[in-house]
Structure 1
Amino acid sequence: MDKLKAMATFIEIVDRGSLSAAAEAMDRSPASVVRALADLENHLGIRLLNRSTRRISLTDEGRDYLLRCRRILADINEAEFLLDARRTAPAGKLTVTAPMMFGRLHLIPLLNQYLAEHPGLQVDITLVDRVVNIIDEGFDIAIRIGHLADSSLISMPLGLTAPVICASPALIKQQGTPNTPNDLASWPIVRFNQHHHWAFKNSETLNTENMSLVMTTNQVDTAISSAITGLGVTRLFSYQVAQALEQGQLIRLLPEFEPTSLPVQFVYPHNRLLSYRVRAFLDWAGPQLKEVLKGR
């Protein structure tokens, strides 16, 4: 018995819903498909499918075996695909999405370099400050900041970033240096997006609606520039304000109260049978972004 061929036949039967449909799809006789399934069940010593004249259904053992068959055949196909693909350069269309400022600061420079080295590749990049459903919206890869809620996505960790409170030196001179989050209650606030609550370590929160809110914006650059001018204190991710902090335009406040850092990661729908252009870019860009975020 050709075990791999028998596994493929078993998967085809399940996917097609009947032995006759599987035989037609595989251009084989129904008798040969029935025989292949019977040989596989005899070899394993278990029944994989419950069969009647109208329908088939997986047994509990068949359900477990199906998952392993899919994984084994996917691994084989991926290995063969990658060996073949690496004989040529990455080509085709790569669709990527990322948060706006992260993309502008860190991802686009890498993409520009990668495209210069691989002229057969085309990139479609969307920068947007919302959680994108990459499966429904057709993206190959996304940069995601935060913990994954969707278990169907695979992640490649790149580093960490933390929400930080910062203000201009002039505003701090005017208001005084805060010692606890509650000291910010009388400060003017520049709020990015609709984040009504600023969470701190030990579950302490500030409701920005009850504070002196002077601006709400959906643009990170606007929040940063307004904070630099002294309009108000703001709360953004550390990578977003890294340059302003390094240049002394903003000062980080209450670092001992900052909440746990959040993961920055590449995410993609699955790690099996990735196209070579996707796998090649992940393998190339991942280590470089890890190095960038290490210093942020």
Structure 2
Amino acid sequence: MDYNAVHMFVTVSQTGSLSAAAERLGVPLPTLSRKITELERALNVQLLERTARGCRVTEAGSRLYDHASGGIELLQEAERTLLSAQTKLMGRLRLSIPQSFEPWWELLGAFQRTHPDIQVSVYSTERRVDLLADGVDVALRVGAIADDTVVARRLLSLRHVLVASPTLLGRLGNPAEPNDLDRYPCAAWGSTLEARPTWTLAGQVQQIKAAFTVNDYVHLRGRALAGDVVTEVPSFLVVEHLRAGSLIEILPDYPFPESPVHLVYRKQRHLSTIVRAYLDFCRYHLAIVEERCTLPPSTL
């Protein structure tokens, strides 16, 4: 027995006409009519009587409807259950984000509250991971993307700022230009022990006599809050401190260049449902990050 044809017959019985059933099922009327005829031939009974107003179920058709309609409803309920389960995403999402990118922590928390059955594994690192070799689904990267093997979705731009505590500036005064930094204790981000750090201020590269270097911006923020140093940090790490006055942006007329922020994933024909859900969530909830990256007006 053609169970698809039985489904069509049940729908005709419920709607009272072939055309209404065809419209409900989204199939051409000739196809539905042919399938009903084939079902009648297979069962060797007449199921429907055509009338001027539509069609009427025969006695044999009524018996088939009584037995089949409940089964059709059970199948439809099973289909709805499966589709519902598919919308409830489950699985693992493997991410890479830069160290200390605090605003993204808030976004990830919101994502998991929306999709509690997705397990998120985050690899936090300063290096640019190899998505394939490191098994990463999506990476958050700051800076230009020069890799034609990946897709990069640009999200926003951010920049770094020079900051110092009011205590330090009260003792040494405010620098007026980059060359004045030579008389300030400076700390800088550095990925190697040998590298001499540089800051690009208003397009000009400034070599820094750093008293302290570390590859951890949170550590640099802590030294600035303690009143020990002038340092460079990403805007999102100090926005709240600048608003509260516990840190002050210095040399605002000599800004660092802006850096683009991208979500990066491998080129492939079909993205997984989980990866697509994450990418869409990030796009629609980007305000969580943007608010934390927006600098207040300088107080200098």
Q: Normalising TM by the smaller chain, what interval? A: 0.5 to 0.7
Shift of 1:263: 0.8
Q: Which has the higher helix share?
A: 1
Contact 1:158 / 1:293 at 8 angstroms: preserved in 2?
A: no
Matches within 5 A, 1:1-296: 87-102=86-101, 105-194=102-191, 196-202=197-203, 204-208=204-208, 211=209, 213-270=210-267, 272-294=269-291, 296=294
Instruction: Tell me, in whole angstroms, the C-alpha distance in 2 between the residues paired with 1:100 and 1:198.
Output: 20
Q: Which amino acid aligns with 2:105?
A: I
Q: Which amino acid aligns with 2:249?
A: R
Separation in 2, partners of 1:289, 1:265: 12
Contact 1:160 1:293 in 2 (8 A): no
Per-residue deviation at 1:106? 2.1
Structure 2, unmatched stretches of 5+, are 1-82, 295-300
The one-letter amino acid paired with 1:109 is E
Letter of the aligned partner of 1:147 in structure 2?
A
- What secondary structure, in the 3-state scheme, does the structure 2 residue paired with 1:115 have? helix
> Identical aligned pairs, as a percentage?
30
Given residue 186 of structure 2, which amino acid in structure 1 is its aligned partner? I
Using structure 2 for the length normalisation, give the TM-score.
0.64
Deviates more, 1:114-123 or 1:243-252: 114-123
| Contact kept? 2:189, 2:197, Cα under 8 Å | no
- One-letter code aligned to 2:87: T
Shift of 1:96: 0.5
Q: Distance in 1 between matches of 2:148 and 2:237?
A: 28
Deviation at 1:163, TM superposition (A): 1.8
How far apart, CA to CA, are the structure 2 residues paired with 1:255 and 1:164?
8
Rounded Cα–Cα distance in structure 2 between residues aligned with 1:291 and 1:177: 33
Cα distance between partner residues in 1 of 2:277 and 2:120? 13
Report runs of 4+ in structure 1 exceeding 6 Å deviation.
Answer: none
C-alpha contact 1:163 1:259 (8 A) present in aligned 2: yes
Runs (5+) with no aligned partner, structure 1: 1-83
Structure-2 separation of matches of 1:113 and 1:264: 19
What is the CA RMSD across the aligned residues, in angstroms?
2.1
Deviation at 1:122, TM superposition (A): 1.2
Give me the whole-angstrom Cα distance separating, in 2, the residues matched to 1:272 and 1:256: 46
| Count of aligned pairs | 207
